[in-house]
Amino acid sequence: MSSRDKILDTVKKNQPEHQELPSLPGEVAPVAAAAEQDLCKKFIATLEAIGGSAYIVSGFTRITSILKEFFPEARRIVSNCPELSAMAETPGHYEDAHTLENTDLAVLRAHFGVAENAACWITEDLMVERALPFIAQHLALIIHKKDIVANMHEAYGRIAEWEKAGGGARIGGEGTSYGFATFIAGPSKTADIEQSLVLGAHGPRSMTVFLLDEEMSDAGFY
Amino acid sequence: MNQHTKDHAALADAFNKDEARVDWHDQTLWFVRQKRDKAAQQVPEWELLRDTASQIKENVLSHLSEYLVRFEEQATRNGITVHWAADAKEHNEIVYAILRQNKVDKMVKSKSMLTEECHLNEFLEEHGIEVVDTDLGERVVQLAGEPPSHIVLPCIHKKKEEIGEIFHEHLGTPKGNADPQFLTHAARLHLREKFLMGKAALTGVNFAIAETGEFVVCTNEGNADMGAHLADVHIACMGIEKLIPERRHLGVFLRLLTRSATGQPITTYSSHFKRPRPGQQMHIVLVDNGRSTHLGRKDFRSSLKCIRCAACFNTCPVYRRSGGHSYHTAVAGPIGSILAPNLDMKKYADLPFASTLCGSCSNVCPVKIDIHEQLYKWRQVLVQEGNAPAAKKAAMKAMTWVLSNPSVYHTAGRAGRWFMMNVPFAVNNGLNPWYKQRDMPEPPKESFGEWYKKNKK
């Protein structure tokens, strides 16, 4: 008998009788919908608490000027936003992801953010290469200010909706979903040495999130 | 005597020789426990989440065979190769075979307690494969030639000065530099090189989803992703109990996992691997290694619900003061003490006794495993199966005789009080384990029984 069959046989023999799956928080009594403004505030506060920074911006002109101000040393910038082509490489794909090793800054659009933990959901179609959000020295993500959900239950609801709407179809391959996707919450970090927090373990040393709000005026900033 | 033949008490004794270090270890872990409390208290529905997580895992155990088959189907459809390993040996051989087929002699590895359980590193090194652990804490203990002492904080037993020394020796950092920022940066440069050269990457698995055939890996450092996305071959190894039914259930577990572990709201990266990238191979090894047998032990099966957050380690008064290495098993702490005897009852017979049964572990467990009750139940099983140490057996027998004979009991009580009052050195010495790190109490002049007899009207 193969190991597979042996394992499955023993598991089947030993598994306890049926236990019901519970309903998830928010399914029975929906969590009171928080106002967009509150979610945004919570998101920014959480992101700052985990070592990231956030800017509410009116558009790419503002994003460009902020990036130039805070990353003046960045020589190689890679992005999936054609709006940034003046300052960044914006190809769809690299033959060898290893060549991204000297990327100073990656600027990528993400789908949405989660207020309770400041995580941003990004699927591989928005990453240029899967390695890019991890290999770059600094990472900036762009989401729309209205695309912030309260918690992880809503987050997985959003992902399911996105799939249903064929959101992943442009990735190619079978099915209409991602082959790889991730939640990113803050800069890469470690506290393995005596619980001292150090930002920039293997991945980006900083994480900036731009929250797009077209109705906002840039006047009065800086 | 080598480490494997010593039991928890003897190993804890060695750890306890340096009292200042024990205090430091104790306080550091208690600090992590406090961070956990703060994070949990910020979620009003925390208890509901724990209940829900527990129920989902109960459901998983009750349908594990179906979920495994469904996961295999879905993962295979996604282009992942699924392997099954009955035990540690088969697991190691499968990984080695994949590496050999791809002519790989170097592999980067992110944290996987399963591979520690299977002693994969030693096996691969014997076969000429260089394994580089890429989690900072794991790299530290790997360079030091030690196993991790904690499943989330692998080198929590090491002082920064010791890590500075290890890095000086192996990575050429300046002697005497023990700055965590500096040392982390040195490791970043050293490991980046390894990531760029790695043709194969091995990761653990935090959750695998039967519905979609994808698996989720959580790290703060980003080392699992750096390894997997740069390598031609990605191997993910998981115990069969890591399955969850549907993707939406991740919402519950990802809210609980890191808050319970370190007090963070979530890990920096929660990566969902579903398909290999074009040209890449992705393998999953499903490992049993005693889990299917454990599933049949009614009193102990719920320990398979564990999501490896280590909250029970950080809160445990025994773990905090005895150190992870005293458990002589891959997964230490309270949860390790109820998992290990399942694998080898004789070898790990000491572990269920390494507890005060205070119940703090059960109180913080995000999936509500009744850890302290299982510790207690394991004690009965181990003694019944004849695995208790001889001294303990003799002491228990003597105690039974004393407690079941009232006159013997009263005489023994009087004798005890007399000894403590008149010849205290007879009990205040190293032969009495109760005297270790504590003073014996001042003996009362008479027992309650004697007082009652006198004062009864």
Say if B312 falls within a structural domain.
no
Say if A185 falls within a structural domain.
yes
Average pLDDT (A145-172) is 86
Mutate to test the interface with A, among B179, B266, B267 (most CBs of A within 10 A): B266
Mutate to test the interface with B, among A180, A199, A205, A206 (most CBs of B within 10 A): A180
For chain B, report the end-to-end CA distance as a whole number of angstroms: 61
In angstroms, the separation between the Cα of residue A169 and the nearest Cα of chain B is 14
pLDDT at A216: 76
Res. A222 pLDDT band, cuts 50 70 90: very low
Q: Which of B113, B103, B111, B114 is nearest to B132 (CA)?
A: B111
Neighboring chain B residues of A7 at a CB cutoff of 8 Å: 68, 84, 86, 240, 286, 288, 292
Count of domains observed in chain A: 1
Neighboring chain A residues of B180 at a CB cutoff of 8 Å: 193-194, 196, 198
Residue A175 has pLDDT above 70, yes or no: no
**Which of the residue ranges B72-86, B339-353, B439-453 has the most confident prediction, judged by mean pLDDT?**
B72-86
Judgement on whether residues B273 and B401 belong to the same structural domain of the protein: no
Give me the half-sphere count of Cα atoms (radius 13 Å) on the Cβ side of residue B341: 31
Residue A220 has pLDDT above 50, yes or no: no
Res. A122 pLDDT band, cuts 50 70 90: very high
Judgement on whether residues B93 and B241 belong to the same structural domain of the protein: yes
Average pLDDT (A79-95) is 93
Nearest to B264 among A50, A114, A202 (CB): A50
Say if B64 falls within a structural domain.
yes
Which of B123 and B397 is assigned the larger pLDDT? B123
What is the average pLDDT value for chain B, to the nearest integer?
93
The model carries a pTM of 0.93
Average pLDDT (B226-236) is 97
Say if A4 falls within a structural domain.
no
Residue A203 structural domain: 33-91+102-212
Residues A184-197 pLDDT 10s: 999 999 999 999 99
In angstroms, the separation between the Cα of residue A176 and the nearest Cα of chain B is 12
Domain finish residue from B289, B307, B342:
B289
pLDDT at B2: 43
Say if B447 falls within a structural domain.
yes
Judgement on whether residues B418 and B284 belong to the same structural domain of the protein: no
Only one residue has tokens 């007879």, namely B426
Say if A8 falls within a structural domain.
no
Nearest to B180 among A3, A17, A196 (CB): A196
Judgement on whether residues B78 and B226 belong to the same structural domain of the protein: yes
Average pLDDT (B220-244) is 97
Identify the DSSP state of B441: P
pLDDT at B429: 76
Average pLDDT (B204-209) is 98
Q: Which of B194, B192, B189, B143 is nearest to B167 (CA)?
A: B143
Res. B402 pLDDT band, cuts 50 70 90: confident
CB-based burial label for A179 (10 Å; 0-12, 13-18, 19+) = buried
pLDDT at B406: 87
Q: Which residue of A has its CA nearest to B290?
A: A7
pLDDT at A152: 96
Average pLDDT (A52-66) is 96
- Contacts of residues B346-349 at CB distance under 8 Å and 24 or more positions apart, as own/partner, are B346/B387, B347/B4, B349/B382, B349/B387, B349/B388, B349/B389
pLDDT at A31: 55
Q: What's B162's domain CATH number?
A: 3.40.50.10420
Average pLDDT (B68-74) is 98
pLDDT at B414: 85
pLDDT at A219: 53
Within 10 angstroms of residue B426's Cβ, the number of other Cβ atoms is 12
In angstroms, the separation between the Cα of residue A78 and the nearest Cα of chain B is 17
What is the average pLDDT value for chain A, to the nearest integer?
91
Query: Is the CB of A25 less than 8 angstroms away from the CB of B52?
Result: yes
In angstroms, the separation between the Cα of residue B349 and the nearest Cα of chain A is 23
Judgement on whether residues B147 and B264 belong to the same structural domain of the protein: yes
Say if A130 falls within a structural domain.
yes
Lowest mean pLDDT: which of B136-145, B358-367, B409-418?
A: B409-418
Nearest to B85 among A3, A20, A202 (CB): A3
Nearest to B222 among A7, A129, A201 (CB): A201
How many Å apart are CA B253 and CA B262, to the nearest integer? 14
How many Å apart are CA B429 and CA A148, to the nearest integer? 65
Q: What's A131's domain CATH number?
A: 3.40.50.10420
Say if A6 falls within a structural domain.
no
Residue B409 has pLDDT above 80, yes or no: yes
Question: Residues near A69 by Cβ (< 8 Å), separated by ≥ 6?
Answer: none
Q: Which residue of A has its CA nearest to B229?
A: A131
Average pLDDT (B435-455) is 83
Query: Is the CB of B51 less than 8 angstroms away from the CB of A22?
Result: yes
Domain finish residue from B289, B316, B338:
B289
Say if B62 falls within a structural domain.
yes
Cα-based torsion angle of the residue sequence A162, A163, A164, A169 in order, rounded to the nearest 10 degrees = 110
In angstroms, the separation between the Cα of residue A215 and the nearest Cα of chain B is 31
Show the DSSP H helices in B63-152 as ranges: 64-77, 88-101, 113-117, 120-126, 136-144
pLDDT at A215: 82
pLDDT at A28: 57
Q: Which residue of B has its CA nearest to A13?
A: B296
Neighboring chain B residues of A177 at a CB cutoff of 8 Å: 212, 274
Nearest to A201 among B136, B266, B271 (CB): B136
Say if A19 falls within a structural domain.
no
Judgement on whether residues B280 and B403 belong to the same structural domain of the protein: no
Residue B197 structural domain: 43-289
Count of domains observed in chain B: 2
In angstroms, the separation between the Cα of residue A38 and the nearest Cα of chain B is 16
pLDDT at B408: 87
Query: Is the CB of A203 less than 8 angstroms away from the CB of B225?
Result: yes
pLDDT at A37: 79
Domain finish residue from B268, B289, B310:
B289
Average pLDDT (B181-189) is 95
Average pLDDT (B118-129) is 97
How many Å apart are CA A60 and CA B132, to the nearest integer? 42
